[in-house]
Structure 1
Amino acid sequence: MQRYNKFGNAIGINQRVDDDTTTTNGKNGAVAACDGNGNFVIAFADYRYSINTAVIFYQLFDLTGNKIVGNQRADAGIGPDKGATKISMQSDGKFVINWIDDRTGKDIGYCQRFSSDGTKINTNFPIPINTNNNNSTYGIFLHNLRIYSAWPDIRNGNWDIYSNIRSFVNPDSILVSVSHKPIKVKEYKLFTAYPNPFNPVTNIKFDLPEEVRSQKLDVRLVIYDVLGKEVAVLVHDKLSSGSYKVQWNAVNYSSGLYFIKLSTEIGYRAIQKIIYIK
């Protein structure tokens, strides 16, 4: 690893990232990502346990290039062989690592979430809903607690490109799309979701009026279950005025009653019931 300043001049000397001192087995596919404060993480495939089976390690660094603890495992267990490592880190230090393995007999992309201190959040999960077909190298991007993924997929007999957006808070939630029309609206409004009841996709529309000096507002659109548990963060961003439509796919959830909550930083709140029927 070599750090550089903004002028392209080297800072210090090359630094070894892996801490495997017991084998001469190979490492490959190193990728890096940085947060808003200059801390960064490097992930790579590592054959230290077997020359035939790679596992995924990562290493955290502070903004001066010092290692934070040592190499840590992103995946779990030994086998199957893993590779095509990708990583993305948002400005507050939360990050995700993605790789491909064939634990189900198909090459599928898996994702592991991490808190800003490098702690794993639950277990890794398959990125596509359809895990019956081979995937290829993924593109992945984490922003505002949403995991954006794209990948080649052979489900139709040819290699086509698929994508989805999953919640970082609860990856079982799939955000299908967010659309924005920059039209002038007079008031805050959360419209009735449609269809409702729904199976498995519903459309959620809301309006944001123009505020003083046309400033963007911090807006959250969140799904809660009947116990009040936050199950999906569909929107958490600074938005300009206009009309928005969000599609939510609840295919991985159980049937039942859910609540949509729209809130803004100036105190607007609106809550609506929706019913998911499989």
Structure 2
Amino acid sequence: MSSSNNNKRRKVMKKMLLATALILFFVPGFGQDLFINEFLASNDACCADENGEFDDFIEIYNGGTEAVDIGGMYITDDLAAPTEYQIPDTAPDSTTIESGGFLLLWADKESEQGILHVEIKLGGGGEQIGLFASDGVTPIDTLTFGEQTTDVSKGRNPDGGETWEFFTSPTPGATNGGASVSDPVNLPEAVALEQNYPNPFNPTTTIRFSLEAHGDVSLQIYDVSGRLVETLVSSRMEAGEYNVEWNAVSHPSGIYFFSLTSGGEQITKKMLFLK
């Protein structure tokens, strides 16, 4: 190949690289500085919405330097269904979060009450929360939480930080730091995996486990030959207690093993499925 052809190819490659760099520079981000900052999954008498109703809430914090409009983004309580509910993009005055600001979403399944009322509801027994970009694919922030206490919220401290705490005096729409935050509720002191219940079972059983700190967690089911049958959990989870149900209806009767891996620890127990 001639040197002139090589030079032409180099010039074309340079132009392509430059174009790619310009696209990456100018295309706006998906809100990478937004955080699920606090939530309350069991609200009996803590915090009322504008209608005087005690609904679950999710607080979003903007830790970036620019205002972000979350209109058009998706909120879900099931990470396997990221497009469960799209936040309306028709009222940017209500859905824009200023730099360092907070926005409260009421998880009450009553969107007719206002643009910040979303069609999901949180479960006090443990669930998931996910904020996804307007493409319905890109995660902005996600979390999986365990069993909650009524009127006690859980939030990041400091705002947007990695540490999660329980607050007996929730702070919806305000900072989680400072005097307004009460003492955290006690957390598990170690990673633990309890025996499934019922056992033997047919066809569903519940597996309960505890985490002492946030981190990557997996909960997997194996058959007697050591073959992986199903992965029940594979995500980053916060400290707390969790219940996971396994439905074995599509599997044959027999002995199975369930294995929890977290923080470099692995715990395995045996269970019996009888049809």
Bigger RCO of structures 1 and 2 (CA < 8 A, at least 6 apart): 2
TM-score category, normalised to shorter length:
0.3 to 0.5
Structure with the bigger percentage of helix: 2
Q: Given the two structures, how large is their TM-score scaled by the length of structure 2?
A: 0.36
Which is higher, the Rg of structure 1 or of structure 2?
2
